[in-house]
Amino acid sequence: MTSDNSRRYRSRRCNAPWVLETMQLLSSSAILLDAVARAGSFRRAAEALNMSASAINRQILNMEAEIGLPLLERLPRGVRPTPVGERLLADIRRWRREQALAEGQLRELTGQRRGAVSIGATECFSTAVLPDVIRSLWQYHSGLEVSTQFASTEELVRKLVAKELDLALIFNPPARFAADIVFRLKLRPGLVMATNHPLAGSRNLRLANCLRYGFVLPDSSVRIHEFIESAFREAHIEVLSPLKSNSIAMMKSMLSNAEMMAILSIFDVHTELAQGSLVFLKIEDSKLEKEELVIAVPSNRRPSPATQAAITLLRAALTDIASTHSTTDNVS
């Protein structure tokens, strides 16, 4: 016969997923400070969080009063962290990553950790982001089986709609497709070149500044192609492109020629930036549209604990990389 104590214990175990989903170890003020710093203004952060800008500002003012130092520099067109704010934000972001891992450890104790997760992504994530995320999943989710599939945007959408994947990282998805988007990042492509390129040390570059140099461009099968072609067309620029390819790896290898450059996403070159073999420069032209990167899951399916853990780690990793290189305007 089951005792009252064992029944109460089983009840607590059944409620564990709900507890873990709502557990918040960081103060709301710390989370709001991070959101405002990423958004660049109280207004944009308020829109993303569905709060009033004044309420967010009030919480951060209270936090500054408690610390005794300003954390944000309030500018006419937005905000930026003070040196003290930058230091605190680095800690907050590290604590958020550690919280995600702590939640994973608690899931292990409640028997939720084992399982499997299938992740789809474009090729650039085979060497950037995903390897570290998978290692973290294995470290804190013992026994978890992870499968990865790399494909084009169109193929990833098809597999996700068919529920052949638990989640997918997709660049520039269709405006409407039968999946749920759980994370969205707006990214500005940049100019990529070798460290010894004549423009490698430049700032405030516009496309018109690059006309004398050759471009290695993606062909029409690569989603970023239409963004680049549209930007050149609207700027009335005729670009020299001795090579077009559907392989980002091929494009990057050609940049060892000091006269060549490419327009790519920060995630296409994250590994090379870390190695110091390439540089990534912001493009000032407003005509170059932002790309959209999303994490999507099959519709009408509640993500498993393993899938949710992968989403949490991916969100943190993607946002950190984009923020470090100032390539993002909107995160949601």
Residue with tokens 């559907």: 246
177 and 206 co-located in one domain: no
97 and 8 co-located in one domain: yes
Residue that is last in its domain, among 103, 128, 160: 103
Q: Residues 81, 71: contact at Cβ < 8 Å?
A: yes
Q: Retrieve residue 190's tokens.
A: 């940049």
Helices and strands (H, E) in the chain, number of each type: 11, 13
**What is the pLDDT, as a whole number, of residue 178?**
87
84 and 158 co-located in one domain: no
174 and 301 co-located in one domain: yes
62 and 199 co-located in one domain: no
Question: Residue 175 belongs to a domain with what CATH number?
Answer: 3.40.190.10
120 and 157 co-located in one domain: yes
99 and 158 co-located in one domain: no
**What is the pLDDT, as a whole number, of residue 293?**
94
**What is the pLDDT, as a whole number, of residue 6?**
36
| Averaged confidence pLDDT in the chain | 83
Residue 228 reports pLDDT greater than 80: yes
User: By residue range, what is the domain housing residue 237?
Assistant: 190-282
98 and 151 co-located in one domain: no
247 and 212 co-located in one domain: yes
Does residue 299 fall inside a structural domain? yes
Does residue 108 fall inside a structural domain? no
What percent of the chain has pLDDT above 90? 39
Q: Retrieve residue 95's tokens.
A: 């604590």
Does residue 248 fall inside a structural domain? yes
80 and 128 co-located in one domain: no
Question: Residue 37 belongs to a domain with what CATH number?
Answer: 1.10.10.10
Residue 8 reports pLDDT greater than 60: no
293: helix, strand or coil:
strand
**What is the pLDDT, as a whole number, of residue 15?**
40
User: How many domains would you assign to the chain?
Assistant: 3
Does residue 120 fall inside a structural domain? yes
pTM score, two decimals? 0.63
275 CA to centre of own chain? 20
91 and 71 co-located in one domain: yes
Does residue 262 fall inside a structural domain? yes
**What is the pLDDT, as a whole number, of residue 11?**
35
Question: Residue 206 belongs to a domain with what CATH number?
Answer: 3.40.190.290
> How does pLDDT run across 133-168, given as a tens digit for each residue?
999 998 877 778 899 999 989 999 999 998 899 999
Residue 322 reports pLDDT greater than 80: yes
**What is the pLDDT, as a whole number, of residue 25?**
67
Over residues 44-62, the mean pLDDT reads 91
**What is the pLDDT, as a whole number, of residue 180?**
94
74 and 215 co-located in one domain: no
Does residue 236 fall inside a structural domain? yes
Please state, in angstroms and as integers, the Cα–Cα distance from residue 186 to each residue in 215, 270, 292, following that order. 24, 17, 5
> How does pLDDT run across 63-86, given as a tens digit for each residue?
999 999 999 999 988 999 999 999
> How does pLDDT run across 254-288, given as a tens digit for each residue?
998 778 899 998 999 988 998 899 999 988 866 67
